[in-house]
């Protein structure tokens, strides 16, 4: 049974979970508040939280695809892509 409204809500939540890291990083990079804090250390200390959010985003994308259209599989794939991009970016930082 298809539930388009529930699939849309779950799918959008999946996208928010997948992109939360980039929103957090951009707040610390492009606002005056971010220049006062050591955002890199804060991001890496809480990296297990980001892994959990990306995992949740992946699972929610799969649930949205099961509830609605298979197009929500792209939302599920956004989470591992976001995680990989963050890991690639963090690997270039010299601690």
Measure the CA–CA gap between 63 and 72, rounded to whole angstroms. Answer: 9
pLDDT at 66 over 80: yes
C-beta separation of 9 from 73 below 8 A: no
Report the pLDDT value the prediction gives residue 13, as an integer from 0 to 100.
94
For 3-54, the pLDDT digits (tens) are 678 899 999 999 999 998 888 878 777 777 665 556 666 666 677 888 899 9
Note whether 72 and 11 are within 8 A (CB).
yes
Global pTM reads: 0.79
Question: Is it the case that residue 86 has pLDDT exceeding 90?
Answer: no
């Amino acid at each position: 049974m298809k539930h388009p409204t529930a699939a849309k809500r779950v799918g959008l939540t999946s996208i928010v979970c997948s992109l939360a890291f980039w929103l957090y990083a951009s707040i610390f990079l492009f606002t005056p508040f971010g220049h006062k804090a050591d955002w890199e250390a804060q991001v890496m200390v809480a990296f297990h939280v980001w892994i959990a959010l990306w995992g949740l985003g992946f699972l929610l994308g799969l649930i949205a695809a099961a509830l609605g259209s298979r197009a929500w599989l792209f939302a599920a794939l956004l989470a591992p892509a976001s995680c990989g991009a963050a890991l690639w970016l963090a690997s270039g930082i010299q601690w």
